[in-house]
Amino acid sequence: MNDSLELFLENEGITSLYDLVGIQANRLFNIYKDKMKQPGASYRAFTEQLEMLGFVMKRKHFNGKNYQKVICVRNDKLTQEKIKTMFNELNVTPDRLGSVDRKTGEITILKTWHYGYDEFKKNYPQSSAVFTPFEFTN
């Protein structure tokens, strides 16, 4: 993973691949460009970096909408269940990343997608690589 992507994930509190599952790649890319102050960054290079991490980009149909290039893992059931859980529990969709923490009132963006980590890790032991914490070098 390139240094700027690694720094971005670390700064945003992304702890494992799981945290990115179900997010629309172009939405994540826009946040990356803004936060890292890289307006000239290449979307193609960005998605290639995600694919090198083991993700696949797929079109997903959910809740009556089609989403292009959603960040998915090879276990499609895990991806679908996470997208459904994020919508049902936090009212976020692949293209709408933020939510409001009901306890603190804080508006969260990417950290929201860590939701359900422990439960999914227990239910999908065969996908252990998805839940392995990142080891940041920065």
3-state helix/strand/coil string of the chain: CCHHHHHHHHHCCCCEHHHHCCCEHHHHHHHHHHHCCCCCCCHHHHHHHHHHCCCEEEEEEECCEEEEEEEECCCHHHHHHHHHHHHHHHCCECCECCEECCCCCCEECHHHHHCCHHHHHHHCHHHHHHHCECCCCC
Residue 116 in this model has a pLDDT that exceeds 70: yes
User: What's the pLDDT score for residue 92?
Assistant: 85
Report residue 108's pLDDT band, with 50, 70 and 90 as the boundaries: low
Residue 134 in this model has a pLDDT that exceeds 70: yes
Report residue 58's pLDDT band, with 50, 70 and 90 as the boundaries: very high
User: What's the pLDDT score for residue 65?
Assistant: 94
User: What's the pLDDT score for residue 21?
Assistant: 96
Residue 107 in this model has a pLDDT that exceeds 80: no
User: What's the pLDDT score for residue 80?
Assistant: 96
Among the ranges given (29-33, 44-48, 105-109), the one the predictor scored with the smallest mean pLDDT: 105-109
First vs last Cα of the chain: how many Å apart?
Answer: 12
User: What's the pLDDT score for residue 59?
Assistant: 96
Report residue 1's pLDDT band, with 50, 70 and 90 as the boundaries: low
Break the chain into its structural domains and give their ranges: 3-131
Residue 77 in this model has a pLDDT that exceeds 90: yes
pLDDT tens by residue, 80-106: 999 999 999 888 889 887 665 667 665
Between CA 24 and CA 20 the distance in angstroms is: 9
